Amino acid sequence: MQVNDHQIWRVWAGILYRWGLEGWAASVIEALGPLSILGAQIVYLGEPFLGSIVPTHHLKALGEMLDEPEQAREFASFLRETAKS
């Protein structure tokens, strides 16, 4: 994971926290497990449409995170830790 990705994770966690979805998002990511790779493909395919509302580098980082099950687990843990603090 790059330092920049960790900063993006903080942005996502903040948004999810404001919406009250950080626990739900962490649970979904954990439940997907190895299938998170499919989520990455959806992000990559949706990039032309989502790029107008979400910065492209955020979408790329999301896709890359979901592409790596270990990173997805780390992000879920990050969300849970953020929710505790």
Of 74 and 1, the structure prediction assigns the larger pLDDT to: 74
Q: Three-state SS string across the chain, please?
A: CCHHHHHHHHHHHHHHHHHCCHHHHHHHHHHHHHHHHHHHHHHHHHHHHHCCCCCHHHHHHHHHHHHCHHHHHHHHHHHHHHHHC
Domain range for 30 is 3-84
How many structural domains does the chain have? 1
Q: Give the pLDDT band (50/70/90) at residue 2.
A: low
Q: pLDDT per residue over 20-29, tens digit each?
A: 999 999 999 9
Q: Give the pLDDT band (50/70/90) at residue 3.
A: low
